[in-house]
């Protein structure tokens, strides 16, 4: 098995590709191997796995956890397709307030490494999606935070005209009013 690691336009966000072995039954792939991730420059200890099922037109995010519970995430789509977005909320970073997006799908075998200090969200493309992600700190409801998905400062070109959004996400603050993520 092997992985490749491709930094995106914000180099701390990394596209992770894995080798898939296909045969008449389907395919086999590894989704994580610590030694190979370390060799690829990602030193993360995962402590919780999450699985989210979303219907068509759903937009989730942009979510993060404040320190000391800030989370790094390894995001993979098991079924369906999503427009996945990471926003740099590290105030000392040269890319603060910038975002990077990538389309992930259950067919591609790709995932994203999103380090602590980033808000994360995605829009479901098509009939629905199952998204799995590993995180580096356990969920802490008292440290849970977010940024509005439609913040004009970010100007993210979400591919949905009328997304299905939770009440919580509708009430998130804009980037200028968000609490520090790192």
120 flagged as catalytic = no
Q: How far apart are the first and last CA of the chain?
A: 34
Q: How far apart are CA 28 and CA 20, in angstroms?
A: 6
133 flagged as catalytic = yes
Q: Which position among 63, 64, 120, 122 bears the catalytic label?
A: 63
Q: Which position among 64, 120, 122, 133 bears the catalytic label?
A: 133
Q: How far apart are CA 149 and CA 133, in angstroms?
A: 20
SS (H, E, C) the chain: CCEEEEECCCCCCEEEEECCEEECCEEECCCCCHHHHHHCCCCCCCCEEEEEEECCCEEEEEEEECCCCCCCEEEEEEEEEEEEEEEECCCCCCCCCCEEEEEEECCCCEEEEECCCEEEEEEEEEEEEEEEEEECCCCCHHHEEECCCCCCCCCCCCCCCCCECCHHHHCCCCHHHCCCCC
Active-site annotation, residues: 63, 133
């Amino acid at each position: 098995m092997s992985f490749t690691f491709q930094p995106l336009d914000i180099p701390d966000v990394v596209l992770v590709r894995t080798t898939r072995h296909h045969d008449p039954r389907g395919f086999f792939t590894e989704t994580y191997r610590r030694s190979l991730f370390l060799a690829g420059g990602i030193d993360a200890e995962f402590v919780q796995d999450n699985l989210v099922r979303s219907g068509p037109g759903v937009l989730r995010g942009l979510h993060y956890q404040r320190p000391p519970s800030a989370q790094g995430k390894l995001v993979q789509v098991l079924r369906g397709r999503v427009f996945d977005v990471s926003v740099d909320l590290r105030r000392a970073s040269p890319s603060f307030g910038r975002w990077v997006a990538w389309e992930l799908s259950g067919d591609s075998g790709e995932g994203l490494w999103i380090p602590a200090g980033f808000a994360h969200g995605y829009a479901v493309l098509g009939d629905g999606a199952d998204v799995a992600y590993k995180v580096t700190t356990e969920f802490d409801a008292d440290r849970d935070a977010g940024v509005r998905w439609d913040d004009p400062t970010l100007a993210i070109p979400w591919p949905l005209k009328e997304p299905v959004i939770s009440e919580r996400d509708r009430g998130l603050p804009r980037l200028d009013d968000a609490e520090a993520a790192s």
